[in-house]
Chains A and B, each alone.
Chain A
Amino acid sequence: MPVLTFREALNQAMAEEMERDPNVYLMGEEVGYYNGAYKVSQGLMERFGPERVIDTPIAELGFAGVGVGSAMVGLRPIIEMMTFNFSILALDQIFNNAAKLRYMSGGQFQIPIVFRGPGGAAHGLGAQHSQCLDPWFCNVPGLKVVAPSVPADGKGLLKSAIRDNNPVIFIESEVAYGFKGEVPEGEFLVPLGVGEVKREGKDVTIVAWSKMIHVALDAANALAEEGIQAEVIDPRTLRPLDEQILITSVEKTNRCVIVEEGWPYAGVGAEIAHRINMHAFDHLDAPVLRISSKDVPMPYALNLEKDVMPNAQKVVAAVKKVLYI
């Protein structure tokens, strides 16, 4: 199987879907002539032309709305947010229009649109460019939220997201764009709403997604050296959430640690912990613990940034706590 970087896998997904359906187009800042701020759209304008790979001015609210409006009348836009930090300017269009038009029109519309781009911290980008906004989008009915962790999932989930008839928030990661992995060629779909066991284990469940999967796997490796077998679960889609895969794992391990890059207050991990409490309470031998970023805007200094973010050591410590060792 070919080994691709994350950005190549995403690029392949878009190219295949644009080939498959002439109504699919890509729009955003620097997606065309510049080949994407992070080169995810490399070569697409050359291949599909400037009518389908469209550079925009810096006007997130405007072009997000253009995407939604075009979806109302049958197109299937992929709107690239250079980073999801900038999507904050477009939230009126995403929350008030994309997420609600179907419902408040009594089902007269479908809004097949993907908003995609990197979210979360990278490396010394400071407070305004390092935000993990997953829970904001997860809170809104009408949206789907996807956060892939490895290139193959990136491709398979993005293809499914583009084919989905609903607005999908597809959150990538700057630091993960260079990550490599095996990616199936051609038609390869990962369904939305279906998680995956990334590592099997019997002693504790670690739930993580996006680049936190790699933190969780590092922690699992470290724990294995101490004889602790951690199971790592990647929900892959945060809304709708694959509850069953979480419950099944916790029923087996009886302990759970959730690793999320976002802030602790009202984070996605809080929702997951709640669902585990609701559906697997009798199986728990310890309270569900959460490792998140610290509850502060992201500082610039690298030592502080590192301190704020989740890491394998913090996860290992949490796992030992739920194991009472």
Chain B
Amino acid sequence: MNYERIKEKLEILADAAKYDVSCSSSGSKRANKNGGLGNSNGTGICHSYTEDGRCVSLLKILLTNHCIFDCAYCVTRKSNDIKRAAFTVQEVVDLTINFYRRNYIEGLFLSSGIFKNPDTTMERLIRVAKKLREEESFNGYIHLKSIPGASDELMKEAGLYADRLSVNIEIPTKEGLKLLAPDKDHKDFIQPMKAVKSNIEIYQSEKRLIKNTPIYAPAGQSTQMIVGATGESDKDIMYSAHFFYEKFKMKRVYYSGYIPVADDKRLPSIGTAVPVIRENRLYQTDWLLRFYGFNIKELLNEDQPNLDMDIDPKLNWALRNLHLFPLDINRCSKEMLSRIPGVGMKSVRKIINARRYRKLNWEHLKKIGIALNRSKYFITCDSTYFEKKDLTPLQLKNKILQESSSKYSTHLNNQLTLFS
């Protein structure tokens, strides 16, 4: 192995792959039953964290950053004057195995620029995964990118070796895509998702009848959207996300604040701050939809097309629905407990368990660990003391903001000065 050369390739191709925010290695179940190398047991492991605070769980690289497309938002676009490189199949296999054996990673996340045509690219990605599984008896996690435009047959094969497949939709609206990636067709993104979704269903139903049916993409599919590149609203983004969750049974949708990589008048200029707060609010909304039983229309609609950046979306919802509160913490249902601002799902479980032993008062709730700074205005408990309920939503919001300090205060101040 030519160490210096590999190091240079790694530098270029890891750097080009880093804009894919997903690094999750969870959700798959692959036992090490052939006495080979590795397993994945459902919960992922972050083996390190970069200085931007993101988890490093997989070896996330591009096979090559040569690309025939010219998408304005992408750093590897054809017209960009950058160093190009390509790994051989064997080089990726060796790196993965050697990193894995040293407990650096949970597995491989392999993506690629599109060289020649989509099928050639997809076929090469599959060869890496196949070699890892069949020649190296590797049972670790493999995440492959579905290349837009790849044929259904190749997508079927990919799922037999990969744990997760993903196509990044990148631009949430069709109009935006037309503007920024004129040579890409919306349909090309959807087709591989459809193929994978139907294969997952076929293999799952076969598995129920025939036990030795091979597993197909056990960690499902995911996708990613860029936030803040095309002036889309939060409603546009979350309704798209909702569409992918419903229609394609996505395991995850990722939201990636746009990091300017080009001087292009269609896009925010280089040096524009990454919209991290907005990203955070979108993830909070995503969680409310998936785990807290919220309906998308309750959070975003015609009257409310954007999220409030000052407060979290659950608090925002509660302020618009004050008539439902206060709730008695000792009596109310699990569904309503999970709708109280400042109460997370873990706290919901703890409250339900603890109230079997005794009636809970403020002291108990504090110990359990719920965020009383927000929740106290929305609940009653085993106590004669409670907050006055005659405030208007706006008064209440200001009161809560005054009494708490946001971890984003520096960001918020910056944004204020930008707009004034």
A and B associate in one complex: no
